[in-house]
Amino acid sequence: MALTIGMIGLGIMGRPMAKNLLKAGYPVVVHSRSQGPVQELVGAGAKAAASPKDVAGQVDVLITMLPNSPEVELVALGRAGIVEGARKGLLYLDMSTISPLVSQKVGHTLGAKGVRMLDAPVSGGEKGAIDAALSIMVGGEKADFDAALPVFQALGTTITLLGPLGAGGFTKLANQIIVAVNLTALGEALTLAKKAGLDRALTLKALSGGLAGSKCLDQKSPNYVAGSYNPGFKIDLHFKDLGLIMESSRALGVPLPCTAVVQELFNAMRVKGKGGLDHSGVITLLEELAGLPTQS
């Protein structure tokens, strides 16, 4: 019999992930603050639950995909949370991007109730979630990773156990440095090219074939060509990740000068009311600084 899987958090990433679990044949129990996505998943064959506690009491594996550390702590350890409904042996996969230190705290508390936990943040954005092509970065025990692997394989294509609980989170923070700096560099390069009168689509084609090519360039090229930055991953969420990165860098004694500059550019986007744009939309700030007309 297939494992029953719980999914808490049905946003840009969680909703397509839950759909892919259904497509893989798993019974799925869902819960989210917003009822629209819950009803959509129920229509696709999932079962709705009233609370995280209610989800935990019905499933073998429970996944959370939530915005930040406080939400994970509340859902896992708060009133009517996972901790109140979990049965011994429950496998809990937090696939949110949060502080690795919070992951370790939650794992320790749930471990006292017999709950096994992996931190397993993802990269690939909305497209990766829809296509079940996420990169999944996992921290935790090898036996728990092996038990979770078939579930991860319904969601992603690159699945790596990196070390103990928290290792997945630290790897995701490293990933987010590269993505944020890459998108900012792309924004600067394309702004320079635009100011020089170059065709954007042709510029992107030329750049993609050389050493400057990247997954960021490939995935975000349609945004740059259209001048439209509907969110696959919001500036607001990446700014949150940059805060976690700088917090970790200070704790570990690792200077991150480029990341600090990018964090302030993302902060400026939020101050301008553009935090809801896709993170590739940082180019609009750079175009504005160059005196160019922008779209969003």
pLDDT reported for residue 232: 87
Q: What is the pLDDT along the chain (296 residues), one digit of tens a residue?
A: 689 999 999 999 999 999 999 999 999 999 999 999 999 999 999 999 999 999 999 999 999 999 999 999 999 999 999 999 999 999 999 999 999 999 999 999 999 999 999 999 999 989 999 999 999 999 999 999 999 999 999 999 999 999 999 999 999 999 999 999 999 999 999 999 999 999 999 999 999 999 999 999 999 999 999 999 999 899 999 999 999 999 999 999 999 999 999 999 999 999 999 999 999 999 999 999 999 987 65
What would the two tokens of residue 92 be? 């809990």
Query: Which of the residues are catalytic?
Result: 172
Which residue in 179, 212, 166, 186 sits closest to 69, CA to CA? 166
- pLDDT score at 22: 98
The answer to whether 275 and 233 are in contact (CB under 8 A) is no
pLDDT of 2 reads 87
Tell me the C-alpha distance between 151 and 147, whole Å.
8
CA distances from 7 to 4, 19, 110, 276 (A): 10, 10, 17, 24
Distance CA 173, CA 160 (A): 15
Partnered with residue 8 across adjacent β-strands are: 31, 64
Q: pTM, whole model, 2 decimals?
A: 0.91
Map out the domains of the chain with their CATH numbers: 5-164 (3.40.50.720), 170-289 (1.10.1040.10)
Q: What is the pLDDT of residue 296?
A: 55
Distance in Å from the first CA to the final CA of the chain: 48
Please say whether the beta carbons of 94 and 118 come within 8 A.
yes
In whole angstroms, give the CA distance from residue 264 to residue 245: 13
Q: Name every residue whose Cβ is closer than 8 Å to that of residue 56 and which is 6 or more positions away in sequence.
A: 6, 62, 82, 83, 84, 85, 86, 87, 90
Q: How many residues does the chain have?
A: 296
Phi, psi of 93 (to 5 degrees): -115, 105
Q: What confidence score (pLDDT) does residue 1 get?
A: 61
> Which helix (H) or strand (E) segment is 48 a member of?
strand 47-48
The predicted pLDDT at position 295 comes to: 64
